[in-house]
Structure 1
Amino acid sequence: MALILQWICTFINHPNSQLMHHLRNHLSKLSVSLKSVFLLTLLFIGIQKSSAQTVYELNSGWKYAPIKTVGDKGEAISALNYSLKGWYPAVVPGTVLTSQIANKQIPDPFYGMNNKLIPEIYKTGRDYYTYWFVKDFKELPATGSQQVYLNFRGVNYSFDVFLNGHKLNVRSHEGMFLRANYNITSWLAKSGNNRLAVIVYPVDVVGNPNGGQGGDGTIARNVSLQYTAGWDWIKAIGDRNTGIWDKVTIEKTGAVKIIDPHVITLVPGVRQVEGVQQPAIIKVSADLQNATNKTVTGVLKYNLDGVPVAKKVTLKPNATQTVQLADYSLKNPKLWWPNGYGPQNLYNLQLQFVTAGNQLSDKKNIEVGVRELTSEWNAHTRSRQTNVNGQKIFVKGGNWIVSDELLRLSKERYDAEVRFHRDMNLNLIRVWGGGLTERPEFYEACDKYGILVFQDMWGSGDCNGRWVDPMKLEDQATRRKYPDNHPLFLESVKDQVKMLRNYASLAIWCGGNEITPPDDILAAIRDTIMPKLDNTRWFVDFSNSTAMSQDSTGVNSDGPYGIQPLSTFWQHRTYPFNSEVGSVGIGDIESLKRFIPAANLVIPEEENGKNKVKYDSVWEYHTYIGYHYTDNYGKPKDVADFAAKAQLVNYDQYRGLMEGFSSHMWDWYTGVIIWKTQNPWTAMRGQMYDYYLDPNACLYGLHSGSEPVHIMYNAIDGTVSTVNNTFKAKQKITVSIKLFDINGAETSLAKIYKDSIATGSAAVTNIQKAVAEASNSKGVFLSLRLIDPNNKIISDNFYWLPDNTGNYSGLQQMKPAQLSVSAKQITKGKVEVTLSNNKNAPVAFFNRLSLVNPVTKKRILPVFYSDNYVSVLPGEVKKVTIDYNLPVTNAQVAISGWNLPEKWIAIK
């Protein structure tokens, strides 16, 4: 019987004639009684006839050519007999530059000064980057009521489209953030051989990249990206990202198409992560479009957790109708939580429309995270507070620009980058307003890893007139009216909201970066669009709004930016919800070599580690901003040594930043968002990993400082304190505090038993005097640990503290480490590295692990480490897990540290 039910389930999920034949063969071998049970079960469930419903992507085989070499019209070009001789292969999705790079027509703009060699659209004119893109594809004419659609998920900036000699759009489609779809059923060739031709025009106003943030600001007159005209962390992009930058798909349905389904989950009350849950309410609606000239009757339905919900619908000819299904009460729901607070449970909801003839017309698969987002004003901190499932969330976030400045976007890259944010123990990403609303695959990754999203609309204080700026072409009042086309902006907002509103991770909509959009746009979004299309999320008018965050005088104050004394993060009070703070993040020598020519690998000259004296031209072009405190570790002997010492600064800065803000959680702050955590090109600031997805020590400093349960040291006043950023107190915890001198000699300062560590931040003890005495001449190492009743370490924090002059003189006198390293494969794509230090040895300090190619010794990327830049105490063992989803064979593990020369370990 179990086998019968298994067949039934398989049949229902995969209805096709071949499977029916297979089941009939098996059915013929069953007894009469079992046959009866089988047939009755099928009748009860209802057999759903197969459908041609399918979607596929047109992502290869494209060709392109500039209009300067193509004088013919689209009707001619889109005919199959039109010769494409001399046309080049095109990258779609992609831009003109990504196609030119692929064809070696231009050099890699990420390397050295190559970007300067690429023609700049402000000088060449728009026609230079106006291109035809052509794609031949096979699709037979539709039969019966079948419909075929051509969908564009993103084109920058405007385009006309032709198919088999016919123009599909009446007027040019405009706007980077406005999807386009065309019913091409009547235009498909009888032979099944079809040609698509698209002419893509650059943004209407290209802007002057004069070195200002957003250049002269006029790039904001378009509904498009602003960073393409240059910023203080990126150079201008020659084509302004002109191209078919997002997916092009062919979609086949029956008579009725499901458009922009909407799933809302309501989770009333204050929930705990564990235990039986009270029901959640699921609300589902969708637009149904009948593309035929006949009335169609059918059923809109879905099945969630084994329970069907359905509604009968009658659709008039050539009509679109919004259908709301009955609310469904989901029993004992598995809830979705942000990273660090609980699991990221997701349900699969398949929404279907089935016609009266039991024919599947269309379906949409939606991953649903059951959660409810709310927000309230915290009167104590004077800032907005984010709640999930009734529980307040202390926001630890990172600002995000875009995955790749040339829009080479992929599900795999999105997954890797968001995973890095999870590994930093962050719980939010703010998508900055000078970039884009990211693609659905980004939000899928955020759903998967529990990263809330704070989504800006397309505007910035720099371009859109918050400040008087001599670099801008037009005055402040004029810039406040950008963009030129307000109706297009609003239509684009509606479209993007519909595309993204079902993702559990999407938490906050924001009017723009550091400024509101124009008054009419703001009013329409706030008062009409959001209430109608997405009324379950918090909308804030701009990213550092007083409605979100105020200091005691009601004046805003974000930052600081750049390297700071660690005391700044503990003592300087900023925004109570600080949307931007931070800055540095260069990689080590291997990272630098990826984009800096050997002749330019020159140590920056700085006065006292603070003021610029001389920077190499490539470093300056790639936005290097200076590193304080590297000289405190000893004058670098070469650029490799400089970059290695910069990692010590990186780790200390970002651990200290998050510890300082966490020490005041729910008192001064409800959240902090780092400016910024990643770069879309080979920049030298504001990143936890480089463009090539190689992490630097910033990532692991944050990994430590952002732990949900954490022990930390305030070097300014000597206080050891705990942070519990979960919903429950931690019971029966032991606090271990030890010092180690440069030779590895141990001094135990305290072993303190705590019955309970409450949520929030709390002081444990003060060790200022003991640390001052121990670190006086050479500095000292400090080990802080939280240990649970089972003797498991739940927080392990290791500091290196300077001598009484502020220098790390003792580190420069350390003896070589006596570290044994072994590596073994524990599962496919996972390696466990064991680090063992001798009992009478010094600390094995600040060791970088890498998975490397055994021949080239270069790092394999991307790879994920459970921890890195690790230190191992005398007589102790540490294990690090290396995780990778790559076709890697015979890899090795490389390790090098402050007092450990680089060596390579075979994986057993």
Structure 2
Amino acid sequence: MQTTFNYSSRYLSKRTRQYLKVTFAVFAGLVSTAKAQTSYELNTGWKCAPIADVKASGTTVSANTFTVNNWMSATVPGTVLTTLLNNKKVPDPFYGMNNERIKDIYNTGRDYYTYWFVKDFKEAAPVAGNQVYLNFRGVNYSCEIYLNGKKVNPQTHHGMFLRQSYNITSLLSKDGENRLAVLVYPPDPVGNPNGGQGGDGRIAKGVGLQYTAGWDWIQPMRDRNTGIWDKVTIEKTGAINIINPHVVTVVPGVRSVNGVQQPAIIKATAELQNATAKAVNGTLQYMLDGNLVKRSVTIPANSTQEIALGDFTLKNPKLWWPNGYGPQNLYDLKMQFLTDGTKLSDQETVSVGVRQITSDWSTETHSRYIMVNGQKVFIKGGNWIISDAMLRFTNARYDAEVRFHRDMNLNLIRVWGGALVERPEFYKACDKYGMLVFQDFWISGDADGKWLDPFKAEDQWTRRKYPDDHKLYLKSVADQIKLVRNHASLAIWCGGNETTPPEDILLAVRDTIMPKLDGTRWFVDYSNSDKMSLNTLGGNGDGPYGIQPLSAFWEARTYPFNSEVGSVGVSDYESLQRFIPKENLVAPQYSANGKTKTDSVWEYHKYIGYDAAIDPYGKAKDAKDFATKAQLVNYDQYRSLMEGFSSHMWSWYTGTIIWKTQNPWTAMRGQMYDYYLDPNACLYGLHNGSESLHAMYNPVTGMVSIINNGFEIKRDLMLAVSTIDMAGKDSLLTQLFVEAQPSTVKAFLPMKPAVDQSAKDKGVFLCLQILDKNKNKLSENIYWIADEHGIYSGLKDLQQAKLSTTARKSADGKIEVTLTNATKAPLAFFNRLSLVDPVTHKRILPVFYSDNYISVLPGDHKKVVLDYEPQAGQPMPLVSISGWNLAEQFIAVQ
């Protein structure tokens, strides 16, 4: 029997409200005071040793009489390489050429990185039918598990992406002193890191990471990320254990962001595991926004059953929207199983974003488009590899990285198929910041046989059948779907990167697993599929990559929903100093004849050429000068990329996804911030070019247009166009009142002759502003235009800025910086703000800037908010500011 209670006071009489308030308070009190389940991580106190040093069996090692005092301290969750690094047994593989000094598993053999991991913990054997479970969220690649002298897993576990859960109730020591021993084996085969994408490709024979054998943006991970890489937990429950709760939200119709909402439908299920020898009667229930939904059930002995709770109608829901379109409202849904009316056996909390994601086909663009709550969303996305190449994941790092994507004004992250189904902590951050997620499974055209490749050990016919164990792959897919399917941000499942899995896998995932476990998302068979984006241009269906003329972003038509398109991404000099030795900080020397000279460490860290893009600013004098000028190129490249795609919104394109926005290693390409979470100008070029309401200038046609990504019409907007010469003289070219229709881009002003004339001799600054009817500045976009020869000759002679800067603490962890330019002064151009240590003047990381690489007009001012996490006992930091025509200054925070 199922019962639904709604405690919303708007629909009840006063007397009834009082009665239910008392009744519910009593009920809630009984549940909260009952003995609930507890769960905790085993994340400290681990020891480890290589298998070659341990001659004992698992039953012996897992007995607490066996001595492990001389074993190394182990990092769990983590990899063998992480443990070796933390014990100073290997140099930092992210610095210089250190990775070459670490032994590769292909040469050493798998035993070299096969390790025992041991953990002693306290947990008394439960009583009265209660249960204890040992849970592993990820082991790479296979393992044997022992507890207190007994084998826990009857057969060897295989598969990096397959959770493990064991009932250890009968194995716990009576005195509560327990020892867990895990023998972890590396992937097999490990693959030859011969310089190919995924090395010789054989790393893809298993169900695991492919990039670990090397890629064009990373060097090989020497241990192939062997280890207990994800969380290990102990979970205590009553007789019934709730597994894989599943919540689906149905939001019919076309919704607006504001106002009273029509109801949404909540669907919820859970697997209930009864590990006892008796049938268990009880109640499965959940509480959501003051509403209680429950069902009485009986779970047979030694069984697991999926139980569905009836559909619940949630009145006037607070909806979840992608970044830039509305708020990211989230509800906590608490699911419980009760026995004897009030005794809590187990409970799980699910964060629920009420939204519905659908897709449809555009006959104009010949590509699919995404709808959220019935509204079309133009996709502005970034490709994501993994947070850290050595799998050192933290909640704080996930939050920071996803927040950076929010700050770029993007609305989607694609998780690339050579890595993993991202962790729940990543998805939690995406839920929080409104980032839709396009999630690939573990297939890549490079390793899995799409192309002929001389680096590969096996032919295409053989590689096309990778991985070797299809049953394990499908089991892992099903498990990972269950792991993350509740997250509001998850929008698209994808069969693989640039190719499908083998046909039997594809059909099973598409036609059986996906409809059964998560039939609410769009499933794409592969990342650049014609079913997503009809490729009428030839080629691979994505790209181009690398430096491009700005005109190309506007005029060269590419794929209508482009899953990968990108440019450069070298960070500034302070960033380079973190991982490049001083003697290797040598600027690349570009040569038009193709003989560009690049330092070997830069090449090792996958530098991608800027070609002739630096030269218009003047030949780079040294590495610092190169990195400084590279930021101007970075900003222009990514602003133009997003403006160009947006200028053809809904006519040529339904979305684009940048390759790529982050690096999990100290690479020198395709990143908006470096591995150390220090942003570069790419991020702020995107931040500008991806604005929801934005004015932009087409460098080819000279047309000024406005894009409105929002769902509401914008009226009484003043569009102002002006130029500022190198002396700071402002010339208003024109201004007019306009309106911007929802989800449209419209051209308003042809300005090419006037701009070209102003820029002819020395170049010029072009300023586009959008103001509301109260003259509040809604958007400002400042371009620097080259002279008639394509040279930024005026910038070379730009006089020093007369900029005054103040900084004040506005709240804990927040600093407001005001930049004011003098009236009769040159434009203060391209100023980088940093928060720095008051003694060393090194940057504090991470810091989130409301804007950066800022230009300030003569007689104008701008305010920027800096957000960071203050450390206890540390002095107030300083604000550093430096620009193209401003020497570095350090500003005290008031």
TM band (smaller chain):
over 0.9
Q: Which residue of 1 aligns with 2:834?
A: 850
Partner letter of residue 792 of structure 1? N
SS of 2:810 mapped into structure 1: strand
Matched, 1:368 2:352: yes
Matched, 1:237 2:225: no
1:316-715 alignment, distance < 5 Å: 316-552=300-536, 557-608=541-592, 611-628=594-611, 629-715=613-699
Q: Cα distance 1:145–1:596, how it changes in 2: closer, same or farther (>3 A)?
A: same
Conservation of the 8 A alpha-carbon contact between 1:550 and 1:556: no
Report the alpha carbon displacement of residue 47 of structure 1 after superposing the two structures with TM.
Answer: 2.2
SS of 1:810 mapped into structure 2: helix
Distance 1:577 1:752 in 2: 34
1:880-899 alignment, distance < 5 Å: 880-887=864-871, 889-899=875-885
Q: Cα distance 1:796–1:678, how it changes in 2: closer, same or farther (>3 A)?
A: same
Matched, 1:900 2:886: yes
Please point out which of 191, 208, 221 is paired with 1:207.
191
Distance 2:602 2:398 in 1: 27
SS of 1:442 mapped into structure 2: helix
Distance 1:711 1:110 in 2: 40
Farther-moved stretch of structure 1 (40-49 vs 503-512): 40-49
Q: Which residue of 2 aligns with 1:219?
A: 203
Distance 1:712 1:254 in 2: 61
Report the alpha carbon displacement of residue 151 of structure 1 after superposing the two structures with TM.
Answer: 0.3
Distance 2:531 2:743 in 1: 26
Q: Which residue of 2 aligns with 1:307?
A: 291
Q: Which residue of 2 aligns with 1:18?
A: none
Distance 1:185 1:854 in 2: 55
Q: Which residue of 2 aligns with 1:24?
A: none
Report the alpha carbon displacement of residue 40 of structure 1 after superposing the two structures with TM.
Answer: 6.3
Conservation of the 8 A alpha-carbon contact between 1:546 and 1:554: no
Report the alpha carbon displacement of residue 36 of structure 1 after superposing the two structures with TM.
Answer: 12
Distance 1:92 1:611 in 2: 47
Q: Which residue of 2 aligns with 1:828?
A: 812
1:276-291 alignment, distance < 5 Å: 276-291=260-275
Report the alpha carbon displacement of residue 583 of structure 1 after superposing the two structures with TM.
Answer: 3.0
Distance 1:202 1:551 in 2: 39
Conservation of the 8 A alpha-carbon contact between 1:52 and 1:146: no
Conservation of the 8 A alpha-carbon contact between 2:698 and 2:704: yes
Report the alpha carbon displacement of residue 43 of structure 1 after superposing the two structures with TM.
Answer: 4.9
Please point out which of 146, 157, 167 is paired with 2:151.
167
Distance 1:781 1:244 in 2: 55
Q: Cα distance 1:75–1:799, how it changes in 2: closer, same or farther (>3 A)?
A: same
Q: Which residue of 2 aligns with 1:759?
A: 743
Q: Deviations over 1:586-639 (max 9, x none)?
A: 11000000000000000111114x834211110010000111311110112221
SS of 2:30 mapped into structure 1: coil
Q: Identity of counterpart residues, as a percentage?
A: 63
Distance 1:612 1:347 in 2: 58
Distance 1:802 1:43 in 2: 73
Q: Which residue of 1 aligns with 2:257?
A: 273
Q: Which residue of 1 aligns with 2:8?
A: none
Conservation of the 8 A alpha-carbon contact between 1:549 and 1:556: no
Distance 1:595 1:550 in 2: 41
Please point out which of 156, 169, 178 is paired with 1:185.
169
Conservation of the 8 A alpha-carbon contact between 2:147 and 2:178: yes
Q: Which runs of 4+ in 1 moved over 3 A?
A: 35-46, 551-557, 755-758
Conservation of the 8 A alpha-carbon contact between 2:355 and 2:488: yes
Q: Deviations over 1:641-682 (max 9, x none)?
A: 110000000000000000000000000000000000000100
Q: Cα distance 1:828–1:43, how it changes in 2: closer, same or farther (>3 A)?
A: closer
Conservation of the 8 A alpha-carbon contact between 2:159 and 2:208: yes
Distance 1:182 1:307 in 2: 34
Q: Deviations over 1:380-437 (max 9, x none)?
A: 1000111110111100000000000000001110000000000000000000000111
SS of 1:361 mapped into structure 2: strand
Q: Which residue of 1 aligns with 2:733?
A: 749
SS of 1:97 mapped into structure 2: helix
Return the TM-score normalized by structure 1. 0.95
Report the alpha carbon displacement of residue 551 of structure 1 after superposing the two structures with TM.
Answer: 3.7
Distance 2:137 2:24 in 1: 42
Q: Deviations over 1:740-799 (max 9, x none)?
A: 000101100011111444531110101111111111111000110111122221111010
Q: Cα distance 1:498–1:728, how it changes in 2: closer, same or farther (>3 A)?
A: same
Q: Which residue of 1 aligns with 2:3?
A: none
Distance 2:221 2:111 in 1: 16
SS of 2:76 mapped into structure 1: coil
Distance 1:292 1:835 in 2: 68
Distance 1:367 1:529 in 2: 23
Partner letter of residue 692 of structure 1? Y
Distance 1:557 1:590 in 2: 37
Distance 2:850 2:730 in 1: 27
1:38-49 alignment, distance < 5 Å: 42-43=25-26, 47-48=30-31, 49=33
Farther-moved stretch of structure 1 (185-194 vs 838-847): 185-194
Partner letter of residue 453 of structure 1? V
Distance 1:37 1:672 in 2: 52
Report the alpha carbon displacement of residue 46 of structure 1 after superposing the two structures with TM.
Answer: 6.9
Q: Which residue of 2 aligns with 1:11?
A: none
Distance 1:234 1:190 in 2: 49
Partner letter of residue 88 of structure 2? K
| Number of aligned positions between the proteins | 874
Distance 2:34 2:26 in 1: 16
Distance 2:27 2:176 in 1: 40
Matched, 1:137 2:121: yes
Distance 1:156 1:581 in 2: 32
Q: Which residue of 2 aligns with 1:195?
A: 179
Conservation of the 8 A alpha-carbon contact between 2:321 and 2:327: yes
Return the TM-score normalized by structure 2. 0.96
Q: Which residue of 2 aligns with 1:26?
A: none
Partner letter of residue 901 of structure 1? A
Please point out which of 102, 108, 112 is paired with 2:96.
112
Report the alpha carbon displacement of residue 369 of structure 1 after superposing the two structures with TM.
Answer: 0.2
Conservation of the 8 A alpha-carbon contact between 1:832 and 1:882: yes
Report the alpha carbon displacement of residue 565 of structure 1 after superposing the two structures with TM.
Answer: 0.1
Aligned-residue Cα RMSD (Å) equals 1.5
Distance 1:444 1:611 in 2: 46
Distance 1:42 1:501 in 2: 32
Report the alpha carbon displacement of residue 807 of structure 1 after superposing the two structures with TM.
Answer: 0.7
SS of 1:529 mapped into structure 2: helix
Matched, 1:256 2:248: no
Distance 2:28 2:92 in 1: 58
Distance 1:854 1:195 in 2: 47
Q: Which residue of 2 aligns with 1:66?
A: 50
Distance 1:690 1:570 in 2: 28
Farther-moved stretch of structure 1 (163-172 vs 632-641): 632-641
Distance 2:501 2:108 in 1: 31
Partner letter of residue 253 of structure 1? T
